[in-house]
């Protein structure tokens, strides 16, 4: 009799989450309201003279009111430059153009299918979770392609299709930030972190590869945890599947054209990899002309065109591999097909552009008023007084990020709000923006699978109802809750180990800022 009570308690909790999330306006509206709020708050802060002392320079920091004639003029004259100069905008658009060719040609879809179909039956779960984690390189394709495909594959081998759906969803959404390669989310978050870091240190740069070491390693953690949860907890709970068959043969086999396209893309990938290796070899090596992607003056790779041009490399790789696949598979027949793929990707970014416009104004206003710096200094002082060490502090921050994610699904929207406060705050405590960003990504990813506010949540319920017509919100959350809790605990523990070992989270991105003097 205890089980129904648990379900009732869970249903009540989810009802609160759903009502709270639905009560929030659209993220773009939220940013517009917060921008107005910053204007009003700046006037109040200036009225009460909330002055603080910068711990680095010793200079007083005073709030600047935007509710003034000078503030009005600045808002009017810099509105356009706030938008066009917003760091994440260009990086996301350029990266998406390249990814769009790979996705539009069918390369990403066929590649995901190959990973799943090539796995031995005993490794099918692991292959599905791994493919899900890797799918975020191509944006949101994993949600619409891999999740229903995984359900079909599980059913085809006599396993419960909802277990396959859950495993794929866990990888795609619960492990969203982890990847062996850089994807569109990396430059997006790095741009926001960079904007926030410049509140403390003007000119500070956050490279898109800032979390690469940590996220690369996270792939294996999430794949392992997702496999164990699926096979030990989720699938036994579901039992044997007795429903009707919904298997699409075309979704569970690779066609001859897909195989031909994948071979061409593989050969193109070898060529691109060879070119990058040649460009990053130390100059003066055995291969003449090597090192052309390194810093021309110092020969350094860390601060080089290769590292600062990651977004351009994502673009070129997407175009080259997408063209190779499309021409071989016949999905690209002319240049107009390539342009259409790019155009389609831009169409899907329409709402994102609206959101970025208001987010850019909010971030700019926040910087102009000095409120971010004031809040960061006061918050850092409070945290220092609390006596919390590095590990409790970071774990608390992860939990805050995970909780906020239940009510606001967009990773970029949340980070645009949180970064101007938490990045400077942790910088004042001695932690790098890259480290703070890595901690945020754990919290942001792990509760995706139980958040009704996640964009694709309704779609996943629809996929689930193909195999269980009575499935609803509670069904999906009850299925995914073990993944969410396990990923949150496991990933946070991994970060703790990372801290204790003093490992950098990415190239040139340590845990602590260098001490002045």
Q: What is the pLDDT of residues 330-341, one digit of tens each?
A: 999 999 999 999
User: Around Cβ 299, how many Cβ atoms within 10 Å?
Assistant: 12
Is it the case that residue 302 has pLDDT exceeding 70? no
Instruction: Check residue 147 and give its pLDDT.
Output: 85
Segment of 14-23, 142-151, 429-438 carrying the highest mean pLDDT: 429-438
User: Around Cβ 74, how many Cβ atoms within 10 Å?
Assistant: 17
Decide which of 312 and 307 is more confident.
Answer: 312
Instruction: Check residue 4 and give its pLDDT.
Output: 38
Read off the pLDDT of each residue in 373-399 and give the average, rounded to a whole number: 81
Is it the case that residue 120 has pLDDT exceeding 90? no
Phi/psi of residue 472, nearest 5 degrees: -140, -165
Instruction: Check residue 261 and give its pLDDT.
Output: 95
Phi/psi of residue 506, nearest 5 degrees: -165, 180
SS3 (DSSP) at 475: helix
- Residue 492 sits at the vertex; the CA angle it makes with 488 and 496, to the nearest 5 degrees, is 170
Residue-wise pLDDT tens digits, 451-463: 866 767 777 887 8
Confidence of residue 3 (pLDDT cuts 50, 70, 90): very low
DSSP string, 124-174: HHHHHHHHHHHGGGGTTHIIIIIHHHHHHHHHHTTS-HHHHHHHHHIIIII
Instruction: Check residue 10 and give its pLDDT.
Output: 46
Instruction: Check residue 69 and give its pLDDT.
Output: 95
Confidence of residue 251 (pLDDT cuts 50, 70, 90): low
Instruction: Check residue 296 and give its pLDDT.
Output: 86
Q: Which of 382, 261, 236, 277 is nearest to 325 (CA)?
A: 261
Residue-wise pLDDT tens digits, 48-105: 888 888 655 678 888 999 999 999 999 999 999 999 887 667 777 887 788 889 888 9
Confidence of residue 407 (pLDDT cuts 50, 70, 90): low
Cα 375–chain centre separation: 26
Phi/psi of residue 369, nearest 5 degrees: -80, -10
Residue-wise pLDDT tens digits, 342-355: 998 787 677 778 87
Using the CB atoms, write b or e for 34-68: b if 16+ within 10 Å.
bbeebbebbbebbeeebebeeeeeeeebebbbbee
Is it the case that residue 163 has pLDDT exceeding 90? yes
Could you tell me the pTM of the whole model?
0.69
β-strand partners of 128: none
């Amino acid at each position: 009799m205890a089980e129904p009570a648990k379900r009732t308690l869970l249903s009540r909790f989810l009802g609160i989450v759903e009502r709270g999330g639905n009560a929030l306006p659209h993220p773009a509206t939220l940013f517009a309201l917060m921008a107005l709020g910053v204007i009003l708050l700046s006037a109040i802060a200036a009225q009460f003279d909330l002055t603080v002392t910068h711990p680095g320079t010793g200079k007083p920091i005073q709030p600047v009111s935007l509710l003034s004639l000078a503030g009005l003029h600045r808002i009017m004259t810099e509105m356009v430059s706030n938008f066009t100069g917003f760091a994440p905008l260009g990086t996301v658009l350029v990266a998406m153009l390249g990814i769009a060719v790979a996705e539009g040609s069918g390369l990403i879809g066929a590649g995901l299918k190959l990973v799943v179909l090539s796995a031995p039956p005993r490794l099918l779960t692991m292959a599905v979770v791994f493919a899900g984690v890797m799918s975020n390189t191509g944006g949101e394709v994993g949600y619409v392609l891999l999740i229903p495909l995984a359900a079909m594959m599980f059913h085809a081998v006599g396993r419960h299709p909802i277990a396959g759906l859950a495993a794929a969803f866990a990888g795609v959404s619960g492990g969203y930030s982890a990847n062996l390669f850089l994807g569109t989310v990396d430059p997006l978050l790095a741009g926001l972190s960079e904007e926030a870091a410049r509140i403390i240190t003007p000119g500070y740069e956050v490279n898109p590869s800032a979390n690469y070491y940590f996220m690369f390693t996270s792939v294996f953690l999430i794949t392992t945890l997702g496999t164990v949860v699926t096979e030990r907890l989720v699938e036994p709970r579901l039992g044997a599947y007795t429903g009707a068959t919904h298997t699409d043969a075309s979704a569970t086999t690779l066609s001859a054209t897909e195989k031909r396209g994948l071979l061409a893309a593989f050969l193109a990938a070898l060529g691109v990899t060879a070119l990058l290796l040649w460009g990053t070899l130390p100059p003066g090596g055995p291969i003449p002309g090597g090192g052309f992607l390194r810093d021309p003056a110092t020969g350094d790779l860390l601060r080089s065109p290769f590292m600062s041009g990651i977004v351009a490399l994502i673009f070129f790789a997407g175009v080259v591999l997408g063209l190779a696949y499309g021409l071989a598979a016949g999905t690209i027949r002319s240049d107009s097909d390539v342009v259409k793929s790019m155009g389609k990707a831009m169409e899907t970014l329409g709402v994102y552009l609206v959101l970025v416009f208001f987010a850019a104004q909010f971030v700019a206003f926040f910087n102009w008023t000095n409120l971010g710096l004031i809040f960061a200094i006061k918050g850092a002082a409070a945290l220092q007084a609390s006596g919390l060490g590095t590990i409790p502090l970071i774990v608390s921050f992860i939990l805050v990020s995970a909780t906020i994610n239940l009510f606001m699904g967009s990773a970029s929207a949340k980070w645009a709000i949180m970064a101007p406060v938490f990045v400077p705050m942790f910088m004042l405590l001695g932690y790098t923006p890259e480290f703070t960003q890595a901690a945020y990504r754990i919290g942001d990813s792990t509760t995706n699978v139980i958040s009704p506010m996640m964009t694709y949540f309704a779609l996943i319920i629809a996929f689930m109802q193909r195999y269980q017509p009575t499935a609803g919100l509670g069904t999906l959350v009850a299925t995914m809750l073990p993944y969410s809790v396990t990923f949150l605990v496991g990933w946070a523990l991994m970060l703790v180990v990372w801290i204790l070992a003093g490992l950098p989270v990415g190239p040139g991105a340590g845990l602590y800022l260098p001490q002045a003097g």
